[in-house]
Structure 1
């Protein structure tokens, strides 16, 4: 079992990666996260299925943790046409036939997935959320999500009849709004 945080719930998800032949001369294998397995036991690159050159692996098992503070993100994901779980992968340097990915994290938050995408160091794969996980996330959101009312910020009223603020330097009298810096008289010159 993973780390237990207050105001959170976790479930184990096995991550399935598919290896298929690459389509270019530069890439020998193409890897893709294809599924997650709710309640899966621990595994380390266990072969699930092999058909010709295509192999599916139960790469590893991770905790999918839902936090009360992130219910807005989960609610947003549940409104998607196809709710998904996001698998965060980091490439590792390995020998030719070894698995080139380290699975860092699994999340149901599209916001957190976007943060990983922004770093550019990880690859984020979107995987369809299985029905049991979808029901669990929906129940979590229903129980803990509180819709926050949007409050528009009001601007301070500006007195337009007063002198303009921020035009040039107040120490220099000028007609236009061109900025001019005050000059310092040379040493010894009369002021």
Structure 2
């Protein structure tokens, strides 16, 4: 029996902030990812609200580390600011609030996951990961990430020739016959 994947339980805090725009009075942004606590319960709820902003706590997300994505974690920890990535979507219609709210869908530490979601036109935001989480992720990446061996560079003599415009070019050692080079020298514009 294999051991379970390393995982953390987290909660996501989304912030709804007032904008100075009559066209879009509010916007949603990712505020934080925090360790899950049993007191959070299992349902989203507003934890702060005034006329300028609201903060909503979304508990119960599991962040797992997968061996086959060790490169994604390595890419995250090797950046200047390792982070959590959160994919979130707006509700289609109001559920637990008077208006639709932003709902986190998935939380990850994988650079590759975030890239795939962005390529799929999803809303993905990031917040800094705390040092203990970065250390945990780094230890996993160090244990499981194996860089692909670098491929040997072909010598330039094997590269196809190109002219200055990038078109294929060829070199011949045979004499060309016909066209040009007759009497009068070449190259005159008449």
Fold shared, TM-score > 0.5 on shorter chain: yes
> Partner residue of 2:178?
none
Cα distance 1:50–1:92, how it changes in 2: closer, same or farther (>3 A)?
closer
RMSD (CA atoms) = 2.9
Tell me the matched-pair count: 155
User: Post-superposition shift, 1:48?
Assistant: 2.8
Distance in 2 (CA, whole Å) between partners of 1:152 and 1:91 is 48
Contact 2:84 2:129 in 1 (8 A): yes
Match of 1:38 among 14, 35, 42: 35
Distance in 1 (CA, whole Å) between partners of 2:70 and 2:4 is 11
> Partner residue of 2:82?
83
Q: Which runs of 5+ in 1 are unaligned?
A: 158-191
- Deviation per residue, 1:15-68 (Å, 9 max, x gap): 011111133222232111111112334442223334542222212321111101
> Partner residue of 1:27?
24
User: Post-superposition shift, 1:70?
Assistant: 0.8
Distance in 2 (CA, whole Å) between partners of 1:74 and 1:128 is 14
- What secondary structure does 1:24 align onto? coil
- What secondary structure does 1:73 align onto? helix
User: Post-superposition shift, 1:118?
Assistant: 1.3
Q: Which runs of 5+ in 2 are unaligned?
A: 159-190
Contact 1:13 1:37 in 2 (8 A): yes
Contact 2:18 2:27 in 1 (8 A): yes
**TM-score after normalising by structure 1:** 0.69
User: Post-superposition shift, 1:8?
Assistant: 2.8
Give the 5 Å matches for 1:138-149: 138-149=138-149
> Partner residue of 1:127?
127
Distance in 2 (CA, whole Å) between partners of 1:80 and 1:136 is 15
Contact 2:49 2:55 in 1 (8 A): yes
> Partner residue of 1:102?
103
User: Post-superposition shift, 1:7?
Assistant: 6.8
